[in-house]
Chains A and B, each alone.
Chain A
Amino acid sequence: MTFVAQDLVVSGLSVHYGGVRAVNSVSFTVGAGECVGIVGANGAGKTSTLKALMGLVPRHADTLRFGDHDLTRTKARDIVRCGIGYVPEGRHVFPGLTVEKNLLLGAYTLPWKTAVQQTMSEVFDLFPMLAEMRHRLAGALSGGQQQMLAVGRALMANPKLILLDEPSMGLSPKLIDDILTVLRRLSAAGHALLLVEQNAKLTFEATTTCLVMENGEVAMTGTSTTLRHDPRVRQIYLGL
């Protein structure tokens, strides 16, 4: 497989739900292997932005391109075939199926042969806990374990870019540290990441560039290190 540089280019992306404008003309770029974060309070339009990229909600955009693929013309079910993995908000693992089956379904677009077994063992290396629980039903896993499974499922299709929606939601500080470790390892392995988070600290530590969203628009953009010490971020969060 030739590895062409694949940038995600988004410009003028808007999302409407029956009269409500959830996302208003958002633009950004995620370069190959880059880590970009989107932070903001609840209801700022972060999740809608990701869902719009995945084609899961009706959207409008001037440009929506990943490498050579024009995502505006790609059906939701084919996004994964372009090399984009998705870790939805609230995990959304398949609760009645085993951990192993969940991972295999992550590789639904590939033939279930030896190559997939190889990827699965790589996922198990990354998350040894999943290997132990491979025959357990996903619904019986704890929140943190389900989060790891959701990440593992996305990895199974060998994505070049992974979209993560609030992986820290409902997790304890200890588990959030684990998530951070995982994100750093994914990045080190060459995956580009687009991380949507309410947890600003986690995002600033895991990414290099960040967008701050407010009321469906990009309020600030900058490197994670500068934003980290910018009091305006906290004002946007706390409405001061």
Chain B
Amino acid sequence: MRWRIASVAAVGVLAWYLPYQLDLYGIHVVDIAIVFALLAIGLGLAMGVGGQINLAQVAFFGVSAYAVAILTTKAGLGFWTAAVLAVLAAALIGLFVGVPALRMQSHYLGIVTLGLALAFTNWVTNSAVTGGADGVSGIPVPPLFGIDLSSEYLYYYVELIVFGLALGFAVFLVRTGLGRRLRAMRDDSLAAGAIGAPVPVLRMTAFVLASLYGGVAGVLYAGLIRYVAPDTFSIANMFLLLAMVIIGGRQSILGCVVGALALSLLREALTDFATYAQLGFGAVVVLMVVFAPTGLAGIPGRIHRALRRGRAGEERAVLKPFQPSGHESRGSGASLEISGISKQFRGLKALTGVSMTVAPGEIRGVVGPNGSGKTTLFNIVSGIYTVSSGRASVNGTVVTGRRPHQLSRLGIARTFQNLRLFGQLTVRDNLLVALDRTSMWSVWRYLLWPIGIWRSERTLRQRADALLDRFGLSDFAGTTPGSLPYGIQRRVEIARALATNPSLLLLDEPAAGLNGQEVGQLREIVRSIRDSGVTVVLIEHNMGLVMSLCDRVTVLASGAVIADGTPAEVAARPEVIEAYLGDSMNTADLITEAESVR
């Protein structure tokens, strides 16, 4: 930490004295590079942190720069009034461009944002108000307490301060609640929704953040050059910006900045060989995505890991035993009532008229052969699927037809059959996303009361550490889940589900891939969770676990409930045995056999 503060201070001092070393051309290049660095931060926030492909970043930049130009020269507004309006305009466009992200992702989003960026260039090159291909000139020098900002040296300091604040804000944001949610959504939007992150709002937020940075960059650019023309906002520059972010490392804000500064300077140095430089940038981008997808920013981590592998086994992290919480049983959990649920996928009937009632504080097993509709049932109760007919309610509140993140707030938590942890977040961050129950309305604090965020972060961290302790995961708090053994990952996912403070917990095959000892630990954990006041429903194929753990068992076959009762009752039912073994065979000896085992 001290080392970090010292290096930030050192960079700050260097930046402050930099102009003394530069000639007029040099300072101009640096001023432009800072504008690109701001744009790159915005793009990094949307793409690297939020996972939203955004090829319209130059359009946000352009909207703001043009707004300043038009408002100052044609509407006669003062520079700073125009600047505020311009940033707002960029944010508005950001919202507009972000709307498609609600419906589509990945390459579809790429083409739509790229298309909208082209639409923007098409508009500015042809409209009379934007001056067509000639652009708008005569933007006034920004007034600032009598400081002459027509000097690019002095303007540098304005840029430096704005840039410092913007960079600090971005880094703060990425490390605290909002950024964590964005990163969680990037890694797995389905799981993020299931633990309470409002995915649609977050997607829009990613675009608004990108456009805000684009807007600020546009204002600075307009004040610096005092002339705007369509060329600056071309698709070629969009790709240059993309190259900066990819080469620097899209998931690291500092990486984006380094990439932007490096490529801006490089481009100036190679200005006589512009085409070859472009060729080189393109080739480097291709090589980067194949060989170093985390960019320059990821290289220190790779070296670090390679070194650590060299001297392995120094202090091995150990999974500590789970500690059943002795304290507080908050009520007895929620009741779950499912009545007549049917679900069809394009004519395929996955569930037909499924009804079941789970009492508060119960551990209920849901079993059945492959493809009998168990996971579909979970997906309906947790809001991932809509029902074709019927409804489910938790504690009397109807839950069908609501979004996963709303259901998470109603106290429903779940795990997934194939583990959906946030792969690039640490184990602690995985839990923190779930522990953070603040609503999206509280993002205003980022602008007006960052101290408040800092404080709640501290309490969240304490609670995360307590939870890590309880699950015996403390040694793994700082590691990413992908590098952990499977059994530990399963435990992390249960801890994450529990971090949302649920009253109903749905576990989808929690014992899959666990060894005998781990299954035993799982049994302990589930019992303790129930004792702390949570109703548990679990899908499981390990019948030994189901028989010893569950209070009641529901058997599904071909999308319908075929039996419901205590484990012993259910295991004796001929139709259940038939569903499992294909034939009821002679069940009489089985029941006596079962009784002798007990």
Do A and B touch, yes or no (CB under 8 Å, in the complex)? yes
Residues of A whose CB lies within 8 Å of any CB of B are 18-20, 22, 41-43, 166, 168-170, 176, 197-202, 215, 228, 231, 233-235, 237-240
Q: Tell me, in angstroms, the Cα distance from A240 to B370 when the chains sit together.
A: 20
The answer to whether B543 and A43 touch across the interface, beta carbons within 8 angstroms, is no
Known contacts: A237-B580, A238-B577, A240-B594. The answer to whether A198 contacts B370 by CB under 8 A is yes
Interface SS majority for chain B: helix
In this complex, how many residues of chain B approach chain A with their Cβ under 8 Å: the count is 30
A19 touches which one: B486, B509, B582, B593 (CB < 8 A)?
B486
Known contacts: A238-B571, A240-B547. The answer to whether A198 contacts B594 by CB under 8 A is no
Known contacts: A237-B543, A239-B542. The answer to whether A201 contacts B585 by CB under 8 A is yes
Q: Considering the complex of A and B, which 5 residue pairs feature the smallest CB-CB distances, nearest first?
A: A239-B543, A199-B582, A201-B583, A201-B582, A20-B513
Complex: chain A residue closest to B580, CB-CB: A237
Starting from the known contacts A43-B512, A235-B593, 6 additional A-B residue pairs (CB-CB under 8 Å) come to: A20-B512, A170-B558, A198-B580, A201-B585, A238-B571, A239-B545
Query: Which residues of chain A come closer than 8 Å to B543, judged between CB atoms?
Result: 41, 237-240
Contact pattern, B 526-548, Cβ under 8 Å of A = 1, otherwise 0: 00000000000000011111110
Interface residue B485 (Cβ < 8 Å from any Cβ of A): yes
Complex: chain B residue closest to A240, CB-CB: B594
Query: Which residues of chain A come closer than 8 Å to B370, judged between CB atoms?
Result: 42, 166, 169, 198
The answer to whether A239 and B547 touch across the interface, beta carbons within 8 angstroms, is yes
**Pairs across A and B, CB under 8 Å, 25 listed:** A19-B485, A19-B513, A22-B513, A41-B543, A42-B370, A43-B509, A166-B370, A169-B371, A198-B369, A199-B582, A201-B581, A215-B516, A231-B589, A231-B593, A234-B577, A234-B585, A234-B590, A235-B593, A235-B597, A237-B580, A238-B580, A239-B546, A239-B547, A240-B571, A240-B593
Query: Which residues of chain B come closer than 8 Å to A233, judged between CB atoms?
Result: 581
Q: Tell me, in angstroms, the Cα distance from A233 to B545 when the chains sit together.
A: 17
Residues of B whose CB lies within 8 Å of any CB of A are 369-371, 485-486, 509, 512-513, 516, 541-547, 558, 571, 576-577, 580-583, 585, 589-590, 593-594, 597
The answer to whether A202 and B582 touch across the interface, beta carbons within 8 angstroms, is yes
The answer to whether A240 and B541 touch across the interface, beta carbons within 8 angstroms, is no
The answer to whether A231 and B486 touch across the interface, beta carbons within 8 angstroms, is no
The answer to whether A176 and B580 touch across the interface, beta carbons within 8 angstroms, is no
The answer to whether B582 and A237 touch across the interface, beta carbons within 8 angstroms, is no
CB distance from B494 to the nearest CB of A (A): 17
Query: Which residues of chain B come closer than 8 Å to A42, judged between CB atoms?
Result: 369-370, 541
Q: Tell me, in angstroms, the Cα distance from A53 to B509 when the chains sit together.
A: 26
Query: Which residues of chain A come closer than 8 Å to B581, judged between CB atoms?
Result: 199-201, 233-234, 237
Complex: chain A residue closest to B372, CB-CB: A170
The answer to whether B571 and A168 touch across the interface, beta carbons within 8 angstroms, is no
Query: Which residues of chain A come closer than 8 Å to B593, judged between CB atoms?
Result: 231, 234-235, 240
- Residue among B371, B512, B582 with the highest chain A CB neighbour number at 10 A: B582
Known contacts: A231-B589, A240-B571. The answer to whether A18 contacts B486 by CB under 8 A is yes
Query: Which residues of chain A come closer than 8 Å to B594, judged between CB atoms?
Result: 235, 240
B371 touches which one: A170, A176, A235 (CB < 8 A)?
A170
Query: Which residues of chain B come closer than 8 Å to A237, judged between CB atoms?
Result: 543, 580-581
Query: Which residues of chain A come closer than 8 Å to B597, judged between CB atoms?
Result: 235, 240
CB distance from A202 to the nearest CB of B (A): 5
Query: Which residues of chain B come closer than 8 Å to A169, judged between CB atoms?
Result: 369-371
Q: Tell me, in angstroms, the Cα distance from A201 to B558 when the chains sit together.
A: 18
